[in-house]
Amino acid sequence: MTQRIVDHPILGSIEEKEQVSFTFNEKEYYGMNGEPIAAALLANGVRTLRHHEEKATPRGIYCNIGHCFECRVTVDGKQGVRSCLTPLQEGMVIESGGTLPTPVKDWSAKNE
């Protein structure tokens, strides 16, 4: 947890909560209990939370207030979970979404 801001000039310092382990795409990570999943992954240096469904561009935290759904991941089999809002718990299995088989845009302008 090297990049974590532990002593913020305005917000003060965070009291060290107990460590919990979780997996993200079959890799083991550690984070603080109850912190947002996106924050735990960011502290571990993971910025890419998913890839775009059509063009596989890497996506991660954007609004960080649960508004834009860019940070959606699959947690314990449940899809579309906003990782910027979801508190981290022990033993969470997190999978990131990737490209889908059929593109949506094949019926666009050229089919008019």
List contacts with other proteins (CB under 8 A): 52, 54-55, 57, 59, 62-63, 67-70, 72, 78-80, 104-105, 108-109
The least distance separating other proteins from the CB of residue 15, rounded to whole angstroms, comes to: 33
Query: DSSP character for 18?
Result: P
The least distance separating other proteins from the CB of residue 78, rounded to whole angstroms, comes to: 8
Rounded to whole angstroms, the Cα distance separating 58 from 53 reads 10
Between 44 and 82, name the residue whose CB sits nearer to other proteins: 82
Between 54 and 90, name the residue whose CB sits nearer to other proteins: 54
Between 44 and 86, name the residue whose CB sits nearer to other proteins: 86
Closest to 75 (Cα-Cα) out of 59, 92, 91, 90 = 92
The least distance separating other proteins from the CB of residue 110, rounded to whole angstroms, comes to: 12
Q: Maximum CA pair distance of the chain?
A: 60
The least distance separating other proteins from the CB of residue 55, rounded to whole angstroms, comes to: 6
Closest to 2 (Cα-Cα) out of 44, 34, 52 = 44
Closest to 61 (Cα-Cα) out of 74, 77, 73, 75 = 73
